[in-house]
Amino acid sequence: MPRAKLTVTLPESLWIHEISTAYPDTTFRVSSVLPGADVAIGVVELTAPNPVPILAAIDERSDIRDLELLWKHDETALLQVETSNPSVLAPMQQAGVPMETPFAVEDGVVTWELTTSADRLSTLGDAFDERGVEYRLEYVHAVDASRAENPLTDRQREVFLTALEAGYYDVPREATLTDVASALGVTKSTCSDVLHRAESTIAHWFAEEHVGRASYG
């Protein structure tokens, strides 16, 4: 069973994307979350020199149903937020991947650490791709086995293997990106995006498993 770390760029429509990018030096730490079909409730801690304008900005958002200040002391505030836009949690629910807390949101980006099956991790990646949610798989390694599971999603694996079989990685190159896209029946830009994600995932996986994270950054 793999242990994975993801960094996900939150959709701009979400309140926490707008607020965290408006206040990029503030860390939003989500200590618990209750997702639903059309609502999500979370307990969030934020630390800033002056939390008051941040709380006011959150309260003004149209997708915030309810905001409760639970505790405040100096530069730290603890609040409970109820939002009508839980869309970023939908891929997690679709894939059946439990959400681990706490997790941090900074400048529009959330970092998640997950422990789940390889199949569910692959399904999660596909769900993000379907919704156009940008993400990066920082690492994946086995929890109770000597090797990591294949970290690629089904779509990434298909595109990567098609490129490999077409000779895209041969030296000299036997196929262009246009050739690979044509074989898959997709646009060149889509092919390039999925292939780049697959290559990035493979590179990070290889470095994590065979070089050691401390050695490359």
Query: Is 159:184 a contact under the CB 8 Å cutoff?
Result: yes
pLDDT of residue 148: 46
Closest Cα partner for 112 from 95, 96, 124, 100?
100
In the numeric block, the tokens 């994270």 are attached to: 213
Residue ranges, the chain, pLDDT below 50 = 144-148, 213-217
Cβ-Cβ contacts under 8 Å for 60 (sequence gap 6 or more): none
pLDDT digits (tens, 9 = 90+) for 6-34: 899 998 989 999 999 999 989 898 989 98
**Cis ω before 102 (30° cut-off from 0):** yes
Does pTM top 0.85 for this prediction? no
3-class secondary structure per residue, the chain: CEEEEEEEECCCCCHHHHHHHHCCCCEEEEEEEEECCCCEEEEEEEECCCHHHHHHHHHCCCCEEEEEEEEEECCEEEEEEEECCCHHHHHHHHHCCCCCCCEEEECCEEEEEEECCHHHHHHHHHHHHHCCCCEEEEEEEECCCCCCCCCCCHHHHHHHHHHHHHCCCCCCCCCCHHHHHHHHCCCHHHHHHHHHHHHHHHHHHHHHHHHCHHHHC
* Token pair of 104 as six digits: 């941090």
107: left (phi over 0), alpha (psi -120 to 50) or beta: left
Q: For the CA atoms of the chain, what is the radius of gyration?
A: 20
pLDDT of residue 83: 92
